[in-house]
Structure 1
Amino acid sequence: MARKIGSRYTAHQILGRGSAGTVWLGDGPEGPVAIKLLREDLAADQDLVERFVQERSALLHLDHPRVVGVRDLVVDGNELALVMDLVRGTDLRTRLERDRRLAPEAAVAIAADVADGLAAAHAAGLVHRDVKPENVLLDALSLEGPGGAPPALLTDFGVAKLIDSPSRTRATSIIGTPDYLAPEIVEGLPPRAAVDIYALATVLYELMAGFTPFGGGHPGAVLRRHVTESVAPLPGIPDELWQLVHQCLAKAPASRLRAVELATRLRELLPSLEGLPPLDIDEHVEDGYEHDEADEESGEGAASGPVTGAAQAAAGGGAVPLVHSRVGPDANRDTHTSMRVPAADELAGGAHGTARAPRPVGEARAGSAKHHRVAERRRRLKIGVVAALVAAALAVGGWLATSQDETGSLPAPAAGYSGG
């Protein structure tokens, strides 16, 4: 059923629902658009609306081919809507759900496109604050790039900041998606451009590995890992690419590259990645998450299921929903999750080491049940070998003693055979 959005736009079909609101396929004076109708409680917050309207100019002037453009902001009674460019294709989360992981060349090409978009936004003074696969759209109508990757566009600028306005949150709250939150946000510092670089490096890691470096289990455990644990290297990728990912996942914001530098470096690596297959990495657990011992001890071992929501194709071209519907619980990757900032002692109490170490297929994860079983089998095998050697030595010693008792001397060596 069609509904009017302001005086210029009409929404025809729901493309998806999410924590921020509902996205509709609509049209306006200049043709088809995507209309993000924000939740009623957001639109009813007058302070929030005024703050968002003040940033309208910056959002409307963020014009870059790697950013989904905001065409208009509609405030009409209790309705607050963003009118955005309509992108035909799919989103990166849907692509990951289908392929599990991408070849390094395609993953780097997508990340380079997103870095280009972030560079433009940061130059305009905008921080995205919620970079993740759900907010990366793949344009199916454009020519494919390196590795067969379609051009990628970043969307949802301004929404995280809108929901995180002072009138809606306390200083002790965190707004964001746990898997992609930079350590400084977990520690309560204001988000700067470097948080987007950290999130993008997490996305790039996920595109190649099939899982995020610090995700899994209770959101509190995920936040702790961002602060206390180092990222595990990915086996099978060129060292130069790994060093780049590692640098952008640095705990210290100043150690990360700027977006424009990251985009340049990623594109320089593309020729060396041509033809490399997706990484052959063992799945960490069957359901896509794993729990460390610290999680179990603190009662944080109840994992959420992996994301199962997917884009719904619109009639006549497969329009991309900018906010997605969900099937089942999605605590780990839900957009704009509000969490309490962990206290210093809680962060310090986490496991210090390497989180979720990827490994070649067939190799058990250190500390896992399979790893302990393999270690126990090896231990028992060693004990068995040692016992057999001891028994053999005792047997030989007994035989020698018996022979000496019977003959009074040790037996002579056997004579060699010579043919005649």
Structure 2
Amino acid sequence: MARKIGSRYTAHQILGRGSAGTVWLGEGPEGPVAIKLLREDLASDQELVGRFVQERTALLGLDHARVVSVRDLVVDGNDLALVMDLVRGTDLRTRLDRERRLAPEAAVAIIADVADGLAAAHAAGVVHRDVKPENILLDMEGPLGPGGSHPALLTDFGVAKLIDTPRRTKATRIIGTPDYLAPEIVEGLPPRAAVDIYALATVLYELLAGFTPFGGGHPGAVLRRHVTETVVPLPGIPEELWQLIVQCLAKAPASRLRASELASRLRDVLPLLAGIPPLDVDEPDAEPTEAYEEPEYPTLPSEPRRRGAVPLVPGSAPDSNRDTHTSMRVPAPEELSGGPRGTARVPRPTGGARPGAARHKAETVRKRRLTLALAGTALVAAVGVGGWLATSGDDAGATPQDSNTTAPEAP
């Protein structure tokens, strides 16, 4: 059903839903547009509305071929909407879900496009803060690039910053998606341009491997890995490409490349990647998460649990921002230390033995034997106590005759 958005736009049908709102296919004075209508609770927040208006100039001025341009910002009654260019295609997450991983040449070409868009945004003083496959669109009508890749555009600029108002998120909270958060964000520092580079390098790793370098398990464990662990090499890619990934995943923001440098150097390695097939590695096992017990929450059948949608504080309600902007507590320093520094989970060849499998099996056998031994001891003790009670004549008021009539005869 069509609905009016302000005085200039009409929303015709829903294209998708996210944690921050709903994207509609719309029509404006200049033709088809995409309209991101923010949630009603966000639209009713007067502080956010004021911030929305303040960001108008910066968002409308961001014009680049690799950025989904914001054409207008609409504040009308209960409606708070971003009117954006309509991209005929799909998002990178949908492609990953279908193919699991991409050939290195196509993956690098896509990330180079996004780095170009980030370079323009950073030059204009805009930090995206939530770079991830869901926010990268592939233009299916554009010309094919290296490795048969479609042109990539970055979308949702400004949404994380708009939602992250002081009243809505305190200094001890995190706005972002756990798998892609830079270490400085986890440690509570303000987001700078380098957080986008870290997130983009994480996306590149995911396109190559089929999983993120520090993901898996409880969000608390994921955040700790960002701060304490180093990434391990992926087999089958040139050393030049791997060094770029390592540099952009550096813990220190100043050690990472700038977006323009990353785009240029990625294109320099493209000739080395021609003809290399998608990597053949399996995702490592998640670490044991005894320290991060995930609480059980009732969920509706139509609303499946998603990774990253649980709080770091056990017992608190899950955040309503379930996908794009998972709000989490900043871990204390002692929580982040969590043990010695080490390397992240090691990818293994497809079909290979899982790391630590023998150790886990031995530990399981040991625990099972201990349980059986304890059960046997308890049984012997119970039999002994039962026999003692049956043969004892010390009950209050008992007579020798009483004990003789209740005690079993000796064999």
Cα RMSD after superposing both structures: 2.0
C-alpha distance in 1 between matches for 2:363 and 2:209: 26
Structure-1 residue corresponding to 2:336: 347
Structure-1 residue corresponding to 2:348: 359
| Residues 313-392 of structure 1: pairs in structure 2 closer than 5 A | 328-332=304-308, 334-350=323-339, 352-367=341-356, 369=357
Distance 1:300 1:249, change over 3 A: farther
Letter of the aligned partner of 2:78 in structure 1?
A: N
Structure-1 residue corresponding to 2:404: none
How many angstroms does 1:374 deviate by? 11
C-alpha distance in 2 between matches for 1:33 and 1:281: 40
How many angstroms does 1:365 deviate by? 3.8
The answer (yes or no) to whether the contact 1:89–1:141 under 8 Å persists in 2 is: yes
C-alpha distance in 2 between matches for 1:241 and 1:375: 39
Structure-1 residue corresponding to 2:133: 133
C-alpha distance in 2 between matches for 1:35 and 1:55: 17
The answer (yes or no) to whether the contact 1:225–1:350 under 8 Å persists in 2 is: no
How many angstroms does 1:55 deviate by? 1.2
How many angstroms does 1:354 deviate by? 1.3
How many angstroms does 1:109 deviate by? 0.2
Letter of the aligned partner of 1:75 in structure 2?
A: V
How many angstroms does 1:254 deviate by? 0.4
After TM superposition, the score normalised by the length of structure 2 is 0.81
Distance 1:47 1:331, change over 3 A: same
How many angstroms does 1:167 deviate by? 2.1
C-alpha distance in 2 between matches for 1:235 and 1:338: 34
Q: Percent identity?
A: 79
Structure-1 residue corresponding to 2:315: none
| Residues 280-319 of structure 1: pairs in structure 2 closer than 5 A | 280-284=280-284, 290-293=285-288, 295=289, 297-300=290-293
The answer (yes or no) to whether the contact 2:220–2:292 under 8 Å persists in 1 is: no
C-alpha distance in 1 between matches for 2:41 and 2:339: 36
Structure-2 residue corresponding to 1:220: 220
Distance 1:341 1:122, change over 3 A: same
For 2:65, what is the secondary structure of its paired residue?
coil
After TM superposition, the score normalised by the length of structure 1 is 0.79
How many angstroms does 1:302 deviate by? 8.1
C-alpha distance in 2 between matches for 1:348 and 1:299: 14
Distance 1:302 1:233, change over 3 A: farther
Deviations 1:64-112 (A, max 9, x none): 0000000000000121000000000110000000000000000000000
Please list every run of 5 or more consecutive structure 1 residues that lacks an aligned counterpart in the other structure: 285-289, 305-325, 377-420
Structure-1 residue corresponding to 2:113: 113
How many angstroms does 1:332 deviate by? 2.2
Please list every run of 5 or more consecutive structure 2 residues that lacks an aligned counterpart in the other structure: 310-322, 365-411
Letter of the aligned partner of 1:345 in structure 2?
A: E
Which protein has greater RCO, CA pairs closer than 8 Å, 6+ apart?
1
Deviations 1:250-305 (A, max 9, x none): 00000000000000000001011000000011243xxxxx4213x1x21446899x
How many angstroms does 1:338 deviate by? 0.4
How many angstroms does 1:155 deviate by? 0.1
C-alpha distance in 1 between matches for 2:351 and 2:213: 20
Distance 1:149 1:331, change over 3 A: same
C-alpha distance in 2 between matches for 1:185 and 1:375: 37
C-alpha distance in 1 between matches for 2:296 and 2:138: 29
Deviations 1:345-385 (A, max 9, x none): 00011463111211222333433x26756999xxxxxxxxx
| Residues 18-417 of structure 1: pairs in structure 2 closer than 5 A | 18-284=18-284, 290-293=285-288, 295=289, 297-300=290-293, 328-332=304-308, 334-350=323-339, 352-367=341-356, 369=357
The answer (yes or no) to whether the contact 2:44–2:78 under 8 Å persists in 1 is: yes
C-alpha distance in 1 between matches for 2:104 and 2:358: 29
Structure-1 residue corresponding to 2:317: none
